Amino acid sequence: MYELIQTGEKSWYIKNPANVGVYDLGGGEVCLIDAGNDKEAGRKILKKVTEAGWRVSCIINTHSNADHVGGNQFIQSRTGCRVLSTDIENAIARHPELESSLLYGGYPYAELRNKFLLAKPTESTEEIESALPPGLEIIKLPGHYLDMIGIMADDGTCFLADAIFSADIITKYHIIFIYDVAKFLATLEMLERLKAKIFIPAHNEATTDIKELIAVNRAKVHEIAALICDICAAPKSFERILKEVFDHYGLTMDHNQYVLVGSTIKSYLSWLHDSGRLNIEFIDNEMLWSRVKEC
């Protein structure tokens, strides 16, 4: 863990639960792509970079989930580096309480105010469009989160954030967090055409071919959609649908899983409704979802 692995003439990544990219800007300065999940991860990342003889000039946050921005505060406080991302992801990095509020759908109760859902706030951020270091290109990767991006380096290394997940993660957890299912699928389609020498997903080993991973991710989305349609053969409330999804996959519900999986299932319900496959009814002051015959 926290091994520095070279992937191109100017690019490396630090292997950890959410891989962190390193791009050599020249003159002893580097740009990090993401920053780990908390202060301790930030400390280890900065130590690894410093031992290699580099200074952190900036951090690019691909998106503002806590496991990608949790190390921002520590690294920025120690180095004075800039933190760059898109406008909405910057806002959540500066005000991380927005993430747990978004997932829960209201003010998060005490058990949801934990480091997995609530990163330490980033002191200052900049809009990436006007501050992107030379040699790097932004790739739009919507779907997993609000305005997630990837980064293509000029040496052919492509940092893919959470656009695709490993087969092991999908097999173990089944439900990967998705904010917008339609955009997630569109991003997978775009990735099939994307050319790079090597791809670095945040939650998978670096690879030169992502087609198999794309297929696994896409198949699981359609599997879950079909499951929800089957569950909704008779009208069901959201809570009932969520329980049946957990039971089907043998998942264990806790506070974090309730909001992460629950928010994702709500996104599936929205997608299935908007695409004409689920109906919504209000009966006896209860919101019920039911399958359209053609689902």
Angle (CA) 154-156-160 rounded to 5° is 105
| Max Cα distance, the chain (Å) | 67
Pairing type for strands 198-201 and 3-6 reads unpaired
Give the separation between CA 272 and CA 71, rounded to whole angstroms.
36
Classify domain 3-216 at the CATH topology level. Metallo-beta-lactamase; Chain A (3.60.15)
Question: The pTM is what?
Answer: 0.96
Phi, psi of 150 (to 5 degrees): -115, 175
* pLDDT the model gives residue 289: 98
Hey, is 286 helix, strand or coil?
Answer: strand
Q: Please tell me the class of the 222-291 domain.
A: mainly alpha
* pLDDT the model gives residue 255: 97
Give the separation between CA 82 and CA 84, rounded to whole angstroms.
6
* Spans of the chain, pLDDT less than 50: none
DSSP string, 57-100: EEEE-S---HHHHTTHHHHHHHH--EEEE-HHHHHHHHSTHHHH
Phi, psi of 283 (to 5 degrees): -125, 125
Phi, psi of 166 (to 5 degrees): -70, 155
* pLDDT the model gives residue 293: 78
Every domain of the chain and the residues it spans: 3-216, 222-291
